[in-house]
Structure 1
Amino acid sequence: MDQDKLMELLGRFTADLGATGSAGLAVIGNRLGLYQALAQGPATPGVLAERTGCHVRYLTEWLNNQAAGGYVSYDLATGEFLLSDEQAFCLADPSGPNISAAFLIALGYLRAEPRITEAFRTGAGLAWHEHHEDVFVGCDAFYRPGYVAELVPSWIPALDGVAEKLAAGARVADLGCGLGSTAVLIAQAYPNTKVIGSDYHAESIERARKKAADAGVANQVEFEVATAQTFSGTGYDLVTMFDALHDMGDPVNAARRVHDALAPDGTWLLVEPNASDTVEENFNPVGRLYYAGSTFLCVPNGLSQPGGYALGAQAGEVAIREVASEAGFTRFRRVAESPFNVVYEIRR
């Protein structure tokens, strides 16, 4: 036995186990607004208790954990905890990555561990709507900042002629819209455009309607409870789908429905997780993150639906291209990418 390799593995285990527990503490910080309170300025546990109304003893352990993990900074001279500019941007700024919300997703899907364990034995699925609401709320909170930063400024302009259509006034279908953030963003950016969002999860649609009303775009955005195979309407100038196709049991028929619903010169904007077609190239931190989420969320949801597919979050471009081709699309172009996502322009 190689002792150096053994110690390396044990070191990795220690980091992972600490991160697992710390995920729960990040969620507590998210729920209680602790990061935002600390962003107001350096604080001892006592000062942070005064700001938040939380118990100082719990805050002491929480701050020590966050500092040990590098999420919070510590001033040895003053005994105060604080957020650097980078930490504040990622954890406390509403326009930042909102990384504590990602831990909300993980804690939400981990609640389903007993059912997923049994599914390993039976091959049964577990549908999206059967998960804890933290999954839905966390996904929206975590992904929305990325959509704010990329969708209107970068992704839509990368599509051939689409931004001009939306500015003039177009019809958009947002499939698998979840809590409605992307539909609302498109409506806010293009006031002449009409957006119809759809999701099979009725609770998400209820939240989406409220989000649109709160944003003042309820006159532009409608929502319906429908699957990607059954959403209503035709003649759409743009159909959007964000991180949803790989979750479906029947992505081919969903793609066929998109094909039929588009106007002759319409565009399908498809956003999927960034993944290599070669499995070993996904053996990296991003791939590890996605494979975990895929095991708990994406594959079980696909297996819960008819169709025979369970692509998973790391399906890769070849698999996605094959789905589009089988559905009748002839033009498929990668127009943008980030470490987490790939954006495709798909046309008839």
Structure 2
Amino acid sequence: MTLDEERLNRHVQTALNDFGATAHAPLVVIGDELGLYETLADAGPLTSDGLAEETDTAERYVREWLRSQAAGGYVTYDPETDRYSLTPEQAAVLADETSPAFMAGNFGVALSAARIEPRLAEAFRTGEGVGWHEHDDDLFHAIAHSWRPQYAAHLVDDWIPALEGVEETLRAGGRVADVGCGHGASTVLMAEAYPESTFVGIDAHEPSIDAARRRADDAGVADRVDFEVATAKSYDGAAYDFVTTFDAFHDMGDPVGAAAHVRDTLTDDGTWMIVELFANDRVEDNLNPMGRAAYSISTLICTPCALDQEGERVLGAQAGEAGIRDAVTDGGFSRLRRAAETPLNLVFEAKP
């Protein structure tokens, strides 16, 4: 077999880039956890000595970390002063948790998901699922850390106003169920924005519900927010005016059954908002950086989770609008429309 040297070199470069990115991921998590990015953004430009002193860390580690960050384009280096800094754009991605461009938390998701690689490899051989609860505990914290900036930036200002009549209902006082709430970031944000409404956060993962209760208590909204350990097909209550599902519908082993239960628990004129990862309907249109990230995370987390449940219709994280529509309408909803979108999310409005 004759190799095309130019093509081979391109593949080697791709693999080298990915190897570097894999080694880089834990360093992003460390920089986030130790406040290295935040300190650079606030106090930079700094030498490695200066950053170590500001963050009470060891200079020799910090020096090597800074050089790796500069090589990857995450930090800016000035060779004349031997100082490092963050541009406003780098800071938005790495240091500002209020920025919708904040991405540092996503590295924690990938890193913690990879910790059960032997279990996932065995699932590849057997076809069995891997339960949400089988993952490292850091995964659940990382998911909350990575998604909250998106919700904080868009949920109240953009997504809910894009829905028909929902904002008015919530301002007047509605009943809301947040299905698949995780650590409750979305639930608490809505409760803070709409003090006349009451909320129930629902998740099948009991440790996440415990964390959500603490989050609601810290935010001062616990008097209007309850949390329930239950699946999307079994949660209690009825006559909800508004049901939400944030980046979780594709994780469900029976999305049609989940949709049917949501339909049963909504008022006749209620609304279900489904927020999903951005995806096109055709595979070839998802073969890009966003698609690679989403398909990879789906292989590590979402697909195994759905297979661990009924696995009747495993959507995966790149189901696209057509896949979501089919599951929702098969579950009894008559209408589904794309109400809003961002580079990372699609926001759907389902009506009975």
User: If the TM-score is normalised by the length of the shorter chain, which range does it land in?
Assistant: over 0.9
Q: What residue number does 1:81 align with?
A: 84
Alpha-carbon distance between aligned partners in 2 of 1:64 and 1:12, rounded to the nearest angstrom: 21
Q: What residue number does 1:343 align with?
A: 347
Alpha-carbon distance between aligned partners in 1 of 2:158 and 2:342, rounded to the nearest angstrom: 11
Q: What residue number does 1:149 align with?
A: 153
Alpha-carbon distance between aligned partners in 2 of 1:278 and 1:36, rounded to the nearest angstrom: 39
Q: What residue number does 2:15 align with?
A: 13
1:13 partner letter: A
Instruction: For residues 118-158 of structure 1, give each alpha carbon's deviation from its aligned partner in whole angstroms, at most 9, with x where no partner exists.
Output: 11100011011111122111111111111111111011000
Q: What residue number does 1:28 align with?
A: 30
Alpha-carbon distance between aligned partners in 2 of 1:251 and 1:265, rounded to the nearest angstrom: 21
Instruction: For residues 205-235 of structure 1, give each alpha carbon's deviation from its aligned partner in whole angstroms, at most 9, with x where no partner exists.
Output: 0000010111111111111101101111100
2:143 is the counterpart of 1:139: yes
1:143-292 to structure 2, matched below 5 A, reads 143-292=147-296
Q: Give the one of 74, 85, 108 matched to 1:104.
A: 108
User: Over the residues paired in the alignment, what is the CA RMSD in angstroms?
Assistant: 0.9
Contact 1:107 1:134 in 2 (8 A): no
Contact 1:35 1:92 in 2 (8 A): yes
Instruction: For residues 250-290 of structure 1, give each alpha carbon's deviation from its aligned partner in whole angstroms, at most 9, with x where no partner exists.
Output: 11111010000001110000111111221111110000000
Post-superposition offset of 1:337: 1.2
2:349 is the counterpart of 1:311: no
Please say which of residues 112-121 and 87-96 is displaced more in the overlay.
87-96
Contact 1:98 1:141 in 2 (8 A): no
Post-superposition offset of 1:7: 1.3
Contact 1:236 1:261 in 2 (8 A): yes
**Structure 2-normalised TM-score?**
0.97
2:317 partner letter: A
Alpha-carbon distance between aligned partners in 2 of 1:89 and 1:295, rounded to the nearest angstrom: 28
Identity %: 52
Q: What residue number does 1:71 align with?
A: 74
1:38 partner letter: L
Q: What residue number does 2:97 align with?
A: 94
Secondary structure of the structure 1 residue equivalent to 2:153: helix
Post-superposition offset of 1:307: 4.5
Post-superposition offset of 1:94: 2.4
Post-superposition offset of 1:309: 2.3
Secondary structure of the structure 2 residue equivalent to 1:281: helix
Post-superposition offset of 1:245: 0.9
2:121 partner letter: T
Post-superposition offset of 1:3: 1.8
Q: Structure 1: any 5+ residue segments left out of the alignment?
A: none
The structure 1 segments of at least 4 consecutive aligned residues displaced by more than 2 Å after TM superposition are none
Q: Structure 2: any 5+ residue segments left out of the alignment?
A: none
Q: What residue number does 1:114 align with?
A: 118
Secondary structure of the structure 2 residue equivalent to 1:81: strand
Secondary structure of the structure 2 residue equivalent to 1:112: helix
1:303 partner letter: L
Q: What residue number does 2:4 align with?
A: 2
**Structure 1-normalised TM-score?**
0.98
